Chain A
Amino acid sequence: MDLNQAVDRIERFLLPLLSIGLALILFGLFCVCQGLNPLDVYASIYRAAFGRWSSFQNTLLRAAPLMLCSLCTILPAQTGLIVIGNEGALVIGALSATCVGMLVYGFAPFFAQLLMVFAGCLGGGLWIGLLGLLRAKRGVNETISGLLLNYVAIALLNFFVEGPIRDPASLNNPASFPLADSHLLGNLPGMRVHFGIIVGFVACLLSTWLIYRTPLGFSARVTGGNYRAAQIVGLSVNRLMIIFSIFGGAAAGLAGMIEVAAVHGRANDDLVAGYGYGGVLVAFVARQNPLVAIFVSVLVGGILASGGILQRVHDLPDSTVLIFQGLVFLCVLWSDSFYGKLNSLVPHFIHGSCHEIFNSSCAPEDISHG
Chain B
Amino acid sequence: MSAAAAGGDEVSNVTSPGSETQELATRAGVEVRLEGLRRRYGQVVALDGVDITVQPGELVALLGPSGCGKTTTLRLLAGLEDADEGQIVVGGKDITRLPASRRDMGMVFQAYSLFPHMTVRQNVAFGLRLRRAGKDKRDERAAEMLELVELSSQAERYPHQLSGGQQQRVALARALAIEPQVLLLDEPLSALDAKVRAQLRDQIRRIQLEVGITTLFVTHDQEEALAIADRVGVMSRGRLEQLAPPTEVYSRPATPFVAEFVGLTNRLAGTVSGSTVTVRGVDLPLVDPSTPPGTAIALVRPEAVTLASEGASDSAALVGTVIAATFLGATSRVTVDLGDITILAQLSTSDAVDHPAGSRVALTIRKDPVLVSRDGSDSPHA
Instruction: Decide whether A and B assemble into one complex.
Output: no
